[in-house]
Each structure stands twice: as C-alpha cells, then as structure tokens.
Amino acid sequence: MRDTLSKRLPLLVILLLSVVTLTGCTYFDKAKEVITNADETTESEEVENVSEKLGIEVIDQNGESIVVEVEFSEGQNLYEILNKAIYENDSLDMGFESFEIDGDAAFFITTINSYNPSADNKFWSFKVNGELSQVGIMQYLPKPNDKISFELDTIN
C-alpha cells in the first residue's frame, strides 16, 4: 500500500496544482491596502505589540538573491507581512492564488517578480531559518530574528 501511495503522490500533487490553477488566480500586483500598523492598537495591546523587523530573501531562478526588510507586529501572519513588503518595496512583487483548506482561506505563491516556475515543473517554497516550512503563509506567524527565504523547488 505504501508503494502504491509513493507512486501516486507525484500525480496527486500535479492534480492538486492543476485544480488550484483552474479555479482561478488572484493576483496582487501591489497590495491595495496597507496592513494596520502598531499605532492603531489599544492601550492594553500597546505594550505587547512592539514592531519588529523581518528580513525576507528571494533566491530567483538565476540564483540571485533579493533581500527586503519589513516591519511587523506580533500576531501578523506571513501573508499580511508579504503584502506590506510588496507595497513598500519596488524590488519585490508576488502573485498569489487563493483556495480553501477546511473552509479557511489559503494562498499559494504563483509568481515572484513575474517568474512563474510551473512551466519548469517547479514551485516557490519558503523556508524559516533554513528549514522548509510545515505550514502555509497564512498560518505562519513570524518571530523576531526569523530568517524567511523563498526558493524554487522541483515537483517530484
């Protein structure tokens, strides 16, 4: 049974990506709204909601590194932070595809700086402190000093 699953896994991944692609793509050329900053918190949250800086690195299809820094507050997910980074930095542009997992919104990164890797049988993955993330950008809540990177991985 395990052998059958390992043979079908690549097909299932490709099928999932095809279904997600066919359901429609929501592309954010530049974020339309600025993420609420720490100044708009209530007094009780003000002490806890200290603004931190997050470094985001993109290693593009040519192996070149693009690094941007963006401020974030505790409790913001990576999707919110990425939209803020896109809005604030001309050197970063991302396209997202929306879908649902168990009724919750989720996003798949389709393009970074106009490069869509699907034709090359690749996808954009993200790593936290050098390790492949086990959750998506909507679920990941960065911590101070985290190192976020986006790299191309091959679909097996």
**How high is the pLDDT of residue 10?**
63
Closest CA to 95 of 34, 32, 29: 29
d(CA 38, CA 74) in angstroms, rounded, equals 10
Residue 10 in any domain: the answer is: no
For residue range 13-36, what is the model confidence (pLDDT) as tens digits?
A: 564 445 444 444 443 433 433 334
- CATH assignment at residue 83: 2.170.130.30
Query: Model's pTM, two decimal places?
Result: 0.65
Domain count, the chain: 1
Residue 104 in any domain: the answer is: yes
Q: Which residues are CB-neighbours of 29 under 8 A, at least 6 positions away?
A: 93, 95
**How high is the pLDDT of residue 13?**
55
Residue 3 in any domain: the answer is: no
At 73, the amino acid letter reads S
Average pLDDT over residues 132-140: 93
Residue 8 in any domain: the answer is: no
- The band of 107, judged by pLDDT with boundaries at 50, 70 and 90, is confident
Residue 31 in any domain: the answer is: yes
Cα dihedral 123, 94, 58, 36 sign: negative
